Structure 1
Amino acid sequence: MTLNAPIDGVNLPLRTSEDPIAQKLPRIYLELFDVLAAQLGESEQGRFTLVVAKEPPTVIDARNLAYAVGRVSARPMVIRWEGMDRGMMRALESEGIAYIRDAADAYLPFMGIKVSSGLDAPEPRPLSAQAQRIVLNLISGRWDGLTAGELASLCGRSRPSVSKYLSEIQAIAPGLVRSRGKSRVLRNPGHPVEDLLDGFEGYLSSPVERRVRMAIRPDVATLGDAGALLAGKTALAFFSDLAHDDGRTTVAMDKAGLERFRDALGDSWVEAPWYEPCPLEVELWAYPIDAPSDVSVVASGLRSVDALSLYVECSKRDTDDIRLLDAVDQLRERICQL
């Protein structure tokens, strides 16, 4: 196969194939790296062993693997990982370990080659709404292994837009986005739910764009027709020991659902003043819920947002309500046990 060829400024094709020395390496390394025989150009000098990281590697991993490869092969070893930052590249160079980050960043001292873009990987930032939607579906195991094209279809967005979302995700967790031919693939290499949630939690935001306090609470059928899902404290009571509040129901809707709801109510649409209690609070969510939960159907007639999406909504609230915070902790424990 061909991998990121040619390397910028070198103009030599890079070809890879199965490498029999993989069978001579300790199994622990094969769990972390794909071991390939590589050829850069046509000369004998351009033959080496390419080790492609399956998940973010450390310099220690690279050093230990270089030692193991050196014991079974005379060919130099080159490590490849697309998420390599400038600090790691400098550290590998100081160890004398060759690397290829991508077509614009490579260090191959056995060939006298070094090319550099001068750019680091993008800085991690809070996720946009659609990137967050993709991450939550990945953590839940639903969109694992999908290509950018498949994600575009599911999200109802263009491929260029999805490519931007994947870049946002890759900036936070490079090992979750891989290249497969011309496609980019979202894949969890085996991280537990708790580890993924720990890694992304600081980059997640409340999905609620605004709240509408209604003075009336219409029947379940009207809410269901608008695609309403139980949310907030109302849904949280089904996932924890938080007591149900019969005086207020909180539901989530996307923009299209809220418009249908307004049209269905017509002149009956009345919002409650801020100083009065409201029987119904409608949350406008920035993205739809792709896998609602049935946990609340029997008791309420409505489905609820899924546990992970509910956790993000509730954990991002600015509150000192001890009962709510305890229920959120219970919900997180439940999610991490899945």
Structure 2
Amino acid sequence: MTVPLGAIPLADHAAMYAALADAGFTDVWSAEVNGADAFTPLALAAAWQPRLRLGTAVTPVFTRGPGLLAMSAAALADVAPGRFALGIGASSPVVVSDWNAVEFTEPLRRTRDVLAFLRAALRGETVDGAFDTFAVRRFTLERPPLVPPPLLLAALRPGMLRLAAAEADGVILNWLAATDVPRAVAELGERRPQFEVLSRIFVCPTEDVDHARALGRRMITSYLTVPAYAAFHRWLGREEALAGMWRAWAAGDRCGALAAVPDEVVDALVLHGSPERCRAQVRRYTEAGVDVPVLALLPTPEVPAGDPAALATLVARLGVDAAEAA
């Protein structure tokens, strides 16, 4: 599950982490856009719920310096040895440049360089030298983790997917349908032992189809108009289906862009229906090649914002019992 959950304050998440573990969820994965940072929700989970595996999906490679990113990862790996995975990614010009005042250039090379730096630094090595996109002078972690975390890479198109296959311990997919998974996985080639394929999956567990599709359209027009995601969906074969949305968006017609997103695209990218139906749809991702499906829970009319009891009940219906988890 993606955390934090809903509008519930982080200080009140102890019960939510327990509800997730009780429902059969194995992992919690944080994101980093403009809400909570990636590490604080996981640090709380490490303290409150030792049954859960922890991961970032993802931390941008531009918004922290290499040394600070290594320190943050090492601290969490120290708190939860063997239970933490560090997922990194290029992010986007909006997050990196507009919101964090950092130049967004050469994202593939920057990601490759940060990955190489982290691999060495988290093993406790002294890193001293120039990479293609930055230089580091004699950095050594004061507290290298006893168990270095696996490094996962967010990837969309072939270049980044192949980088993940060659140099990372896993790949994180995002904003794709279950039917898109085989194409992405094919770019990875033959995978090494222990290499993991994660996918964030947007889930709106409601039978109010109008609500789910309206929310899905807003999210799709926000994300899939970003150049990297637009190129990704062209590569996946959605040029014709999304051309109207892209034209309207480029013309400044936001309402027209929303109206131009076909129902079938919304239904493929944002799962909805009863919690049990959503679970069945998530299984299609695992059948297609995803090892770790990471749900991103969207608001529904049935669950009031910030209501921990209602959210815990929904989580229980989305989860699996112990027999199924085994």
User: Larger relative CO (CA 8 A, sep 6+): 1 or 2?
Assistant: 2
Both structures adopt the same fold (TM-score exceeding 0.5): no
Which protein shows a greater Rg? 1
* TM-score relative to the length of structure 1: 0.24
* TM-score relative to the length of structure 2: 0.24
Bigger share in helix? 2
